[in-house]
Structure 1
Amino acid sequence: MGMVDSPNGKHQAKKGRRQLKRLGFHLDMTPMVDVAFLLLTFFMLTTTFSKSNTMEINMPPETGEVRIAEQNVMTVRIAGDGMAYCSLGEEIPRRIALYGSSDSRKLSLSGELRSLLRKQTSVNKKMVIVVKISEKAKYKNLVDLIDELNLMKIDRFSLDDYTDQDEAAIKRAV
């Protein structure tokens, strides 16, 4: 609470001058600090902390090279045209729509691509999926594909660079 201190009013006047009363003011800040800490505590305890949206990617060690048989490698190339090009080993890539309809913002991957991935990994337990994405493609395409692989519990996949040979393979696609 605020209090005003006033002297007892007995002052001696100096020659011809009138002396002004000086009032002292004292403000007790304790209740305001209490309310501030109460509000701070309330908001800290009632707000929910948002989880960061991150994807954990385990990188293999840089030492050594892993040899995989050609029939155990499925390459999924994502070009900038909204299509996925899948090939097993050195086969000519198959052209598959990446999304089920033209609106890629609402839908997940197409059923054809999903069934192909599921079929190939169930037939061959040693199957490794190599994902190559063009610079022209959207980042969302890569994230959607990796999410779909995680949902299908396919954990044997790798990300690789998109090269000119991949561009040539796409041009040969059926």
Structure 2
Amino acid sequence: MGMVDSPGERRGSKRSARQRKRLGFRLDMTPMVDVAFLLLTFFMLTTTFAKSNTMEINIPPETGEVDVAELNVMTLRVPGDGFAYWSLGEDAPRRTPLYDQSENFAMLSKELRQVLRQQFGNNKKLVIVVKISDKAKYKSLVDIIDEFNMMKIDRFSLDEFTAQDEAAIQKVVAMQ
């Protein structure tokens, strides 16, 4: 590994330690470089590269308006209180839990999934308008869009949660 070279001195000679001069020191770096490259190779081959989790959203041009029959519009409101309020056309909103409590917020509630499946099964021209309040968690929006993708629902739109939506929800809450 490391050696001390003294000129004119043989190994095993009987000169005293005082007469020896330390003239050069040579450190062999080969084993350290080997270990460094071995570790680098190991970590490069065993590390999994994380793929970014992205969702593709196609946004229509802002210039055109699309006319949709009122019976073909389902509004899904999420105010952030743990419930979702859905309505068809101008009907009064109906309340359903957003998540199952037993699932620890892992997936949308069975009732909401059943409503989506039933309404979309009855009307293939159905357009779902999702309105999420500022108080709701972003995870709720992602879970709803994931559920749409799993159910192969590709006709949905995101809209602003307005004071009128809040008033409609307050009427439903007051009735219960």
Place the TM-score, normalised by the shorter chain, in its bin.
0.7 to 0.9
TM-score by length of 1: 0.83
SS of match in other structure, 1:77: strand
* 1:28-76 Cα deviation digits (max 9, x unpaired): 2222112211211112112222333333323223332222221111000
- The size of the alignment, in residue pairs, is 165
Where does residue 90 of structure 1 map in the other structure?
90
RMSD between aligned residues: 2.2
TM-score by length of 2: 0.82
Higher helix share: 2
Where does residue 14 of structure 1 map in the other structure?
none
SS of match in other structure, 2:74: strand
Question: Can you give the 5+ residue segments of structure 1 that lack an aligned partner in the other structure?
Answer: 10-17
Pairing 1:60-99 to 2, within 5 Å after superposition: 60-99=60-99
Q: Percent identity?
A: 72
Where does residue 51 of structure 1 map in the other structure?
51
Q: Within 1, Cα distance between the matches of 2:104 and 2:56?
A: 23
Where does residue 28 of structure 2 map in the other structure?
28
Query: Runs ≥4 in structure 1, deviation > 3 angstroms?
Result: none
Where does residue 6 of structure 1 map in the other structure?
6
Where does residue 13 of structure 1 map in the other structure?
none
Q: Within 2, Cα distance between the matches of 1:29 and 1:63?
A: 68
Q: Within 2, Cα distance between the matches of 1:79 and 1:106?
A: 16
Q: Within 2, Cα distance between the matches of 1:63 and 1:27?
A: 73
Question: Can you give the 5+ residue segments of structure 2 that lack an aligned partner in the other structure?
Answer: 10-17
